[in-house]
Amino acid sequence: MNITHKQFGTTKNGEEATIYTMTNSKGMKVSVTDFGANIVSIIVPDRNGNFADVALGYDDIRGYENNKPGFGSLIGRYANRIAGASFELNGKVYKLQKNEGENTLHGGEPGYNRVMYETEIFEEEDMVSVELSRLSPDNEQGFPGNLDITVTYSLTENNELVIEYHAVSDKDTIVNLTNHSYFNLAGHNSGTILNHKVWINASKFTPTDNNLVPTGEIRDVEGTPMDFRTLKRIGENINDNYEPLIQAGGYDHNYVLEINPGEVTKVAELVDEASGRVMEVFTDKPGMQFYTSNMLSPVKYGKDGAEYGLRAGVCFETQHFPNACNIKTFPDSVLRAGQNYNYVTIYKFSTR
Give Cα separations from 192 to 52, 230, 248 (angstroms): 16, 21, 17
Return the pLDDT at 136.
98
DSSP 64: H
CB 17 within 8 Å of CB 33: yes
What is the model's pLDDT at position 195? 98
For residues 291 and 315, give the distance between their C-alpha atoms in angstroms, rounded to a whole number.
Answer: 5
Residues in contact with 168: Cβ distance below 8 Å, sequence separation at least 6, in sequence order: 147, 148, 335, 338, 339, 340, 341
180 is catalytic: yes
Q: List, for the chain, all residue ranges whose pLDDT scores fall below the cut of 70.
A: none
The answer to whether the bond into 110 is cis (omega within 30° of 0) is yes
- What pLDDT score does 261 carry? 85
Options 180, 188, 253, 320, the catalytic residue? 180
Coil, helix or strand for 62? helix
pLDDT digits (tens, 9 = 90+) for 287-340: 999 999 999 988 989 999 999 999 999 999 999 999 999 999 999 999 999 999
> Do the beta carbons of residue 267 and residue 257 sit within 8 Å?
yes
- Cβ within 8 Å of residue 247, ≥6 positions away: 208, 209, 210, 212
Question: How many Cα atoms within 13 Å fall on the side-chain side of residue 267?
Answer: 32
pLDDT digit string, tens, across residues 127-138? 999 999 999 999
Q: What is the CATH number of domain 2-351?
A: 2.70.98.10
| Predicted local distance difference test score (pLDDT) of residue 41 | 98
